[in-house]
Chain A
Amino acid sequence: MELMVNLMINGLATGMLIFLLAAGLTLIFGLMDVLNFAHGGLFVWGAYAGIFTYMYTESFLIGILGAIGTGALLGLITEKLIITPVYGNHIQQILITLGLMLVLQEMIKVVFGPNGVPVKTPSYLAGSWEIGDVIIIKYRLFIIVVGFVIFGIFQYMLKRTKIGLIVRAGVQDKDMAQALGIHIKQVFLYVFMVGAALAALSGMLMAPYSGVIYAEMGMEYAILGFIVVVIGGMGSFSGSLLAAILVGLAGSFMAYYVPVLSLAVNMILMAIVLIFRPQGLFTMRKERST
């Protein structure tokens, strides 16, 4: 029983981090029809910028803000320079965002050095609670709470506010939204920035969780993000939460019971979903016209 609870918490925490990464990816894809292969680069820049701010200011909160700011800024530059020229051309988007990923990853090594950086959890989040035999690591709980809070905020924004209405209208039909007088390009830019900021936040929160940050982590977690987006359904926000939790839990249980399979389980999940239900498990909307 205790084991189950521990594995659950592990899985949920990982799932939440992947969710934050995938949420940006899925929003950007749903609205702009752009699959951002550079998302992992934004993730790792968030981690590095956030952690260095945190080490400099000694405040984890300012570190988080630094990560979010960096992410949004990089998102702004990326959208303006890289994405805008290739709207509507899928192959060029794939190629160019992958190139950007490469540049971002190498820039990390130039700016922050090629070696991994060890990261300490802030003192008030370090340690764990023991309830009976169940050990709950504080930081993991913190991640889960943050994940749910962010999910709640976004769900509220998307479903209850004017901004959300515009974004949802854009996802459903770009041309119609534009005909109704919405500056859709502007919306694209903001959504891209928000998505990039979420990726950066995810990277920042991941840093104390994994204990070390390194340039290649971007690609590793980006792949998990892609898997979640595919399983959850491209463009579906709540779908990606469910899928992220599924991937997180599958990973943590497999790592305990069948360690050999733990790295492959996500790929297998994705392959199965893509082959039998390419539109994703949790999509309610009608199939995207292809």
Chain B
Amino acid sequence: MKITLQQISFFLILASLVILPFVNDSRTLIILLTQIFIFGILAMSYDILLGYTGIVSFGHAMFFGIGAYTTAVMLKQMDATLTMFLLSIVTGMFFAGMISFLVGLLTLRLKSHFFAMLTLAFSGLFLVVAEKWRSVTYGNDGFTFRAPDIFKERITFYFFVLACLAVIFIALYRFVNSPTGRILIAVRENEQRTKSLGFNTLHYKVIASVVAGIVASLAGSLYSLSLRFVNTSVLTMDITLDALLMTIIGGVGTLVGPLLGAGVIEYAQHALSGLARDYPIFERWIIFFGILYILAVLFFPKGIIGSLRMLFWKWRSRRKGNKKSPAALPHKKERFE
């Protein structure tokens, strides 16, 4: 088996993240990194939809919320042990899978506009249910719960989340490079043509939506455990927007992009809320992200990773000196349609 540059860098980054807590055990850093990993998982799952299959879903918070609530409710109502936590992750994934399957089957036949609106409406419905079903969810006030003893230490939780991230990354990498993943990309590039090649595109879009839903639910479970608290904010549009922002800014259609995006956004949030103490304008940091996001959609539709990759290709083709074959370059105006 040939070891590629990508595999080497993957293991190097993983190793440095494993070593990091022993070098610098600052509490804020560990918490920030844990948060980045969790949202990285969420953003990667979102990119399966947006970047690989080319569907815009505004209901991703629904699956995140399902995971978060399943974990929180099970740890609160039953006992807070590690087994129960793992069981709650699996249960959450199961529910998220079922619901994304049903919703996907109903809605993925529709054109992009309608799909985006319907997912928005469905996640709105979930939010309303969570607000009203006070006996279990305690509505907007939310509730706290005890974490399993092993996760009392932030460090162990950090390693657990890191392990989840690594596993999910490898699994999704295999998934998008599998024959199914290739067909998802074909759907993104040209759905009509894929259909006429004999693929049932609805079938593949539902697969993408189920995979994305399941992974998002895992992120939700980890998120609620990291806070040891859950309220209806996990189901709001903000979560979907975060995932969207991370994916767009990091780079759609890659798995590293969303991770990088999660890092950038979470770090910026952290830094800006620090600045907000001195300059009140930074309390409204969403504005900066919103403007950044609009500019990214307009000028860097491929995000950080995509733009870097483009530069790299340009550089390589120039070095080889075959300027005469511009066909080797990816098309410059290529946008995710």
Q: Which of A56-64, A87-95, A132-140, A202-210 contacts B (4 or more CB under 8 A)?
A: A87-95
Contact B121 A267 (CB under 8 A): yes
List, in ascending order, chain B residues with CB within 8 A of A166's CB: none
Contact B116 A94 (CB under 8 A): yes
Question: Which residue of B is nearest A29, CB measured?
Answer: B113
Q: Which of B132, B241, B301 contacts A92 (CB 8 A)?
A: B301
Does B281 sit at the interface, judged by CB under 8 A?
yes
Contact A223 B337 (CB under 8 A): no
CB distance from A285 to the nearest CB of B (A): 16
CB distance from A269 to the nearest CB of B (A): 10
DSSP class of A's interface residues: helix, strand, loop or mixed?
A: helix
Contact B125 A91 (CB under 8 A): no
Given A226-B120, A267-B121, residue A98 in contact with residue B107 (CB < 8 A): no
The proximity string for A residues 71-84 relative to B, scoring 1 for CB distances below 8 Å and 0 otherwise, is 00000000000100
User: How far is it, in angstroms, between the C-alpha of A96 and the C-alpha of B300 when the chains are bound?
Assistant: 12
List, in ascending order, chain B residues with CB within 8 A of A267's CB: 121-122, 124-125
The proximity string for B residues 283-297 relative to A, scoring 1 for CB distances below 8 Å and 0 otherwise, is 010110111011001
List, in ascending order, chain A residues with CB within 8 A of B336's CB: 91-92
Contact A100 B294 (CB under 8 A): yes
The proximity string for B residues 87-121 relative to A, scoring 1 for CB distances below 8 Å and 0 otherwise, is 00000000000000000001101111110111011
User: How far is it, in angstroms, between the C-alpha of A270 and the C-alpha of B287 when the chains are bound?
Assistant: 31
Most buried by B among A29, A37, A106: A106
List, in ascending order, chain B residues with CB within 8 A of A35's CB: 113, 116-117
Contact B335 A92 (CB under 8 A): yes
Q: In chain A, residues 250-275, which have Cβ atoms closer than 8 Å to a Cβ of chain B?
A: 260, 263-264, 266-267, 270-271, 274-275
Q: In chain A, residues 84-127, which have Cβ atoms closer than 8 Å to a Cβ of chain B?
A: 85-86, 89-92, 94-96, 98-100, 102-103, 106-107, 109-110
Question: Which residue of B is nearest A229, CB measured?
Answer: B117
Given A94-B112, A99-B297, A102-B241, residue A223 in contact with residue B120 (CB < 8 A): yes
Given A90-B112, A95-B297, A99-B290, residue A274 in contact with residue B124 (CB < 8 A): no
The proximity string for B residues 47-73 relative to A, scoring 1 for CB distances below 8 Å and 0 otherwise, is 000000010101000000000000000
CB distance from A40 to the nearest CB of B (A): 11
Given A92-B301, A95-B56, residue A270 in contact with residue B118 (CB < 8 A): yes
Contact A102 B286 (CB under 8 A): yes
Does A12 sit at the interface, judged by CB under 8 A?
no
DSSP class of B's interface residues: helix, strand, loop or mixed?
A: helix
Contact B128 A264 (CB under 8 A): yes
User: How far is it, in angstroms, between the C-alpha of A219 and the C-alpha of B290 when the chains are bound?
Assistant: 15
Q: In chain A, residues 127-148, which have Cβ atoms closer than 8 Å to a Cβ of chain B?
A: none
Given A95-B244, A99-B294, A99-B297, residue A106 in contact with residue B284 (CB < 8 A): yes
Contact A275 B106 (CB under 8 A): yes
Contact A230 B114 (CB under 8 A): yes
List, in ascending order, chain B residues with CB within 8 A of A271's CB: 106, 118, 121-122
The proximity string for B residues 202-213 relative to A, scoring 1 for CB distances below 8 Å and 0 otherwise, is 000000000000
User: How far is it, in angstroms, between the C-alpha of A109 and the C-alpha of B282 when the chains are bound?
Assistant: 12
Does A278 sit at the interface, judged by CB under 8 A?
yes
Contact A274 B118 (CB under 8 A): yes
User: How far is it, in angstroms, between the C-alpha of A85 and the C-alpha of B121 when the chains are bound?
Assistant: 28
List, in ascending order, chain B residues with CB within 8 A of A91's CB: 54, 56, 112, 336-337
User: How far is it, in angstroms, between the C-alpha of A89 and the C-alpha of B116 when the chains are bound?
Assistant: 14
Contact A290 B111 (CB under 8 A): yes
Does B171 sit at the interface, judged by CB under 8 A?
no
Contact B113 A96 (CB under 8 A): no
CB distance from B118 to the nearest CB of A (A): 6
List, in ascending order, chain B residues with CB within 8 A of A227's CB: 117, 121
Does B165 sit at the interface, judged by CB under 8 A?
no
List, in ascending order, chain A residues with CB within 8 A of B116's CB: 35, 37, 94
Most buried by B among A102, A103, A107, A227: A102
Contact B290 A106 (CB under 8 A): yes
Contact A94 B56 (CB under 8 A): yes
Contact A96 B297 (CB under 8 A): yes
Known A92-B336, A106-B286; further 4 A-B contacts with Cβ < 8 A: A103-B291, A219-B237, A263-B132, A267-B121
Could you list 11 A-B pairs, sorted by A, with CB under 8 Å?
Answer: A82-B294, A94-B112, A96-B294, A100-B294, A102-B241, A110-B284, A219-B237, A227-B117, A263-B128, A267-B122, A275-B106
